[in-house]
């Protein structure tokens, strides 16, 4: 690790700079992928958007002066990238959810308890199905507030709307979530 608190990740082909970039990617990749996946609801789209977010971030890294702010800054780019994607497409893709039912077990989970695996899969599918029923803005507000733990004011800033609107989205999303969860558990 560098003694300096500043990131110096300029792409100029230097091995050490590339190593730092790789470390930056490795540190944040899973978290960013999950944020985007929860917003867009499809693994393939989340993969593309995660890559896009990292490329944007690393190309604009001169804006990043503080390592401690790096994660926050990257999340902002990731959510903006996901939001832009939803705006362009105009709807939520629920196609990934069906494929998850038939997806083969990953190699890392082969040794898990089968019951626990089934339960986890059910929880995931339920979460994905319910998220798919929310409007994009409700889903975004819920993910940023309840999963990412951002304060409502910051969620409002990210979504370019007022705090009252965000509170309305969050309340609607939680109420719908509770209602739909009750139905799926029956």
Question: Given the rule CB under 8 A, which residues bind other proteins?
Answer: 11-13, 15, 18, 21-22, 25-26, 29-30, 33-34, 37-38, 43, 47, 50-52, 54-55, 58-59, 96, 99-100, 102-109, 117, 120-121, 123-125, 127-128, 142-143, 145-147, 149, 152, 167-168, 170-172, 174-175, 177-178, 181
Residue closer to other proteins, measured from CB, 54 or 83: 54
Considering the complex, state which of residue 50 and residue 83 has its C-beta at the smaller distance from other proteins: 50
Query: What tokens were used for 110?
Result: 């082969």
Question: Distance between CA atoms of 167 and 152, rounded to whole angstroms?
Answer: 7
The dihedrals phi and psi of 91, each to the nearest 5 degrees, come to: -155, 170
d(CA 54, CA 73): 11
Where residue 161 falls (left for φ over 0; alpha for ψ -120 to 50; beta otherwise) is beta
Rounded to the nearest whole angstrom, what is the least distance from the CB of residue 167 to other proteins in the complex? 6
- In the complex, what is the shortest distance from the CB of residue 157 to other proteins, in angstroms, rounded to a whole number? 15
Residue whose entry in the numeric block shows the structure tokens 């040794």: 111
Between 25 and 67, name the residue whose CB sits nearer to other proteins. 25
Distance CA(146)–CA(140), nearest Å, equals 10
Nearer to other proteins by Cβ, of 66 and 110: the residue is 110
């Amino acid at each position: 690790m560098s003694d300096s608190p500043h990131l110096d990740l300029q792409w100029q082909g230097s091995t050490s700079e590339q190593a730092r970039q790789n470390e930056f990617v490795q540190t944040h990749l899973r978290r960013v992928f999950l944020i985007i996946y929860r917003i867009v609801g499809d693994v393939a789209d989340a993969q593309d958007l995660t890559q896009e977010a990292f490329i944007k971030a690393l190309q604009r890294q001169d804006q990043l002066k503080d390592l401690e702010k790096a994660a926050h800054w990257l999340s902002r780019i990731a959510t903006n990238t996901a939001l832009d994607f939803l705006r362009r497409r105009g709807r939520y893709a629920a196609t990934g959810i069906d494929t998850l039912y038939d997806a083969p077990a990953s190699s890392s989970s082969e040794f898990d308890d089968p019951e626990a695996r089934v339960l986890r899969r059910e929880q995931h599918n339920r979460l994905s199905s319910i998220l798919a029923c929310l409007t994009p803005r409700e889903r975004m507000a819920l993910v940023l507030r309840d999963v990412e733990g951002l304060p409502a004011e910051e969620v409002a800033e990210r979504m370019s709307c007022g705090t009252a609107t965000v509170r309305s989205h969050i309340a609607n999303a939680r109420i719908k979530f509770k209602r739909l969860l009750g139905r799926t558990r029956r």
